[in-house]
A and B are shown apart, each in its own frame.
Chain A
Amino acid sequence: MSDPLLQLEDIVVERGRRRILEVPSLDVLPNEVLAVVGPNGAGKSTLLRVIGQLERPSRGKVLFGGLPISGNPLPFRRRMALVFQEPLLLDTSVEGNVRSGLSLRGVPANERQRRVEEWTARFGISRLRRRSARTLSGGEAQRTSLARAMVLEPEILLLDEPFTSLDAPTRESLIDDLDAVLTTKRVATVFVTHDRTEALRLGDRIAVLMGGNVRQLGTAAEVFSSPVDSEVASFVGVETILPGRIRQLSAGLASVAVGDNTIEAATELQSGADVLVCLRPEDVIVSALADALPMSARNHLRATVKRVRPSGPYVRLELDAGFTLVAHITKQSLEELALSPGSNAVASFKATAVHLIPHRPG
């Protein structure tokens, strides 16, 4: 693995007596997109401001290229670029905005012009160059803001929820464009978001920040399929989290007692361990009682449908299997299975879809 481009060491940010952020260690690697996800108030923006040298931490240090940042932060700020949730454009033309950082950094006029032309084209705003920034739509303004950051050719790009205030189609198209830019340019990026889908889409690694602490750091697969605790599990979209105990263990397959039921799960934990059983709703297969059950699935639980609720492109089912189990199915499946509250069904899932988290019962 290459040396980190940026390192945080023992960072603590306190406001009054409140500790906003506590990060003992966090690295940003060259060429990677590090997505920082977490709920509102988790300290994500503070983390970004500390990295961007816009806020001094109460303790700890930031190293850029292996060297600690101390004294005047301006030279380091000029090696980074930051895009906020709001476009925060200056009251001038689109071109004037895109050029502003280059002028501040003393880039020669010819080079400024070349870069402005390149980046306004990349973000599809060339035709808007002479327009006043005040007349732009939300999407156009955020494109201008992204172009204004990328035109600086930063060594580290910092993105603070740049898509949050956009409508869904605009957000999709802008994420596509940014994805293409990041794939081509491979600029090291720290991307803060509360949206798990955005993090999955753009992040090479994902850090889950909760209550000012990095609770988990890893690849998308690690974080989303093996959350370290119930809060992270809940945040990354695991809807079924049940307390249980490993009764038996045989060749990596555990029988876990959950209430009156037994669930089989692949695990490396020891027999007798108290655990939280985590199951993602998209991993639960729902069938009618008479259907042939999927053979490779180790778990089949008889259940009654408690609630049916449309949720975007799919339907969210709450099933009572002695405990509440959540499943996502398509609208077509709902119609074919003729499920409604009170219907009987079977919920199936693979032992490998179950994630066990060691847990001391409260």
Chain B
Amino acid sequence: MDLIWDGVTEALRLIFSGDSYVYEVTFTSLLVSGSATLIALVLGLSIASFLAFRAPPGRTLALSAFNAGMALPPVAVGLLVSIMLWRTGPLGQLHLLYSRTAIVIAQAVIATPVVAALSTAALQGLNPNLRLQVLALGASRWQAALLLFREARISLLAAAMAGFGAAISEVGATIMVGGNIKGSTRTLTSAIVLEVGQGDFETAIALSFILLGVILVLVTLFTVLQQRRPPA
């Protein structure tokens, strides 16, 4: 218990003393996971709209793949992205390995199936005639999609939170493709792994509390947005 309490105190000290290392890894975490979530949202919502509204042949198969993708092992994703980004790999010429962009790619690969699967379920839960009604009101395809997203916003924001959660809590792929380089690709999660490896449990616990705090603040903001009454 003492160790945890010391960790909490250390976390508060690090935050309020303006420790540049902590702010830097927190910023990196937010930047890469925020970007990955945005990419996952764009891809996931596009996939979900296509699967839910167009009902293409093979939809069940595709949905099974995305549902399975929610349980995608991050280490396997990290390995796959690494192989793609290696100098001799298909995307090696981009020189992205061990960069923040590489982490964004890996986290987006992990978060996209989560967003896609949960968003498809959310859109399929809408009354199928609602889309026809919205189109009959004179909506273009884009207007119809936005209106339907708004109708399904509670479930879609839950999908966004799940996607963000999968991205920011991820560590295996982050280390594998990012290299855990201080000042560049070190995130809160990879920093915690490093501190534990070095036996500095106090700092590791402090960083864990900071990570939890960041997640709590962001998810609370999402939840407030989710539970807000719709504007008239």
Q: How far is the CB of B107 from chain A (nearest CB, A)?
A: 32
B58 close to chain A: CB less than 8 A:
no
A78 touches B (CB below 8 Å): yes
Given contacts A84-B129, A93-B232, A96-B232, contact A74 B136 (CB under 8 A): no
Q: Are B135 and A77 in contact (CB under 8 A)?
A: yes
CB distance from A91 to the nearest CB of B (A): 5
- A88 contact from B127, B230, B231, Cβ within 8 A: B127
Return the CB mask of A141-159 against B: 1 if under 8 Å, else 0.
Answer: 0000000100010000010
Shortest Cβ distance from residue B143 to the other chain A in the assembled complex, whole angstroms: 6
Is A91 in contact with B135, judged by CB distance below 8 angstroms?
no
User: Quick check: is B12 within 8 A (CB to CB) of the other chain?
Assistant: no
B residues in contact with A130, CB < 8 Å? 232
Interface check A80, CB cutoff 8 A:
yes
**A148 near B137 (CB under 8 angstroms)?**
yes
A101 at the interface (CB under 8 A from B): yes
Q: How many residues of B contact A (CB 8 A)?
A: 20
With known contacts A86-B127, A130-B232, A81–B136 Cβ distance under 8 A:
yes
Distance of A84 Cα from B147 Cα, bound (Å): 18
With a cutoff of 8 Å between Cβ atoms, the chain A residues found around residue B230 in the complex are: 91-92, 96
Using Cβ atoms and an 8 Å threshold, which residues of chain A touch B229?
Answer: 132
Interface pair A88/B143, CB less than 8 Å apart: no
Task: Give the CA-CA distance A90 to B231 in the complex, in Å.
Answer: 11
Q: How many residues of A contact B (CB 8 A)?
A: 27
| CB <8 Å contact, B147 and A90 | yes
Q: Is there contact, CB below 8 Å, between A84 and B133?
A: yes
CB of A92 within 8 A of CB of B127, answer no
In the complex, how many angstroms separate the beta carbon of A75 from the nearest chain B beta carbon? 9
Are A86 and B136 in touch, CB under 8 angstroms? Answer: no
Instruction: Report how far A82 CA is from B130 CA in the complex, Å.
Output: 12
Nearest CB of B to A207, in Å: 21
Q: How far is the CA of A84 from the CA of B137 in the complex (A)?
A: 12
- B137 in contact with A101 (CB, 8 Å): yes
Task: Specify which of A54, A90, A101, A148 lies most central, judged by the most chain B CB atoms within 10 Å of its CB.
Answer: A90
Q: Are A101 and B138 in contact (CB under 8 A)?
A: yes
Contact A104 B127 (CB under 8 A): no
Contact of A49 among B132, B139, B140 (CB under 8 A): B132
For B24, the chain A residues whose CB sits under 8 A away are none
- Contact check, B138 vs A105: say whether CB atoms are below 8 A apart: yes
Bound-state Cα–Cα, A49 to B147, Å:
20
With A90-B147, A92-B232 as given contacts, are A104 and B139 in contact (CB-CB < 8 Å)? Answer: yes
How many Å from the CB of A209 to the closest CB on chain B?
A: 19
Which of A80, A88, A96, A100 has a CB less than 8 Å from the CB of B129? A88
Closest to B133 in A: A88
| B window 119-135: CB within 8 A of A | 127, 129-130, 132-135
Residues of chain B lying within 8 A (CB to CB) of residue A54: 132, 135-136
Interface positions of A from 194 to 227, Cβ below 8 Å from B: none
Q: How far is the CB of A191 from chain B (nearest CB, A)?
A: 15
Is A320 an interface residue, CB under 8 A from the partner? Answer: no
- The chain A residue with its CB closest to the CB of B132 is A54
Q: A49-B132, A84-B133 are in contact. Are A90 and B140 (CB under 8 A)?
A: no
What are 20 sample pairs from A and B whose C-beta atoms fall under 8 A apart?
A: A54-B136, A77-B136, A78-B138, A86-B127, A88-B129, A88-B133, A90-B134, A90-B147, A90-B150, A91-B150, A91-B151, A91-B230, A92-B231, A96-B231, A101-B138, A104-B139, A104-B140, A105-B138, A152-B137, A158-B136
If A54-B135, A91-B230, A130-B232 are given as contacts, then 9 extra A-B residue pairs at C-beta distance below 8 Å, sorted by A number, are A54-B132, A77-B135, A78-B138, A82-B136, A88-B127, A90-B150, A95-B232, A104-B137, A104-B138
Lowest 6 A-B CB distances belong to which pairs?
A: A101-B137, A82-B136, A93-B232, A88-B133, A78-B138, A105-B138
Contact surface of A with B, Cβ cutoff 8 Å: 49, 52, 54, 74, 77-78, 80-82, 84, 86, 88, 90-93, 95-96, 100-101, 104-105, 130, 132, 148, 152, 158
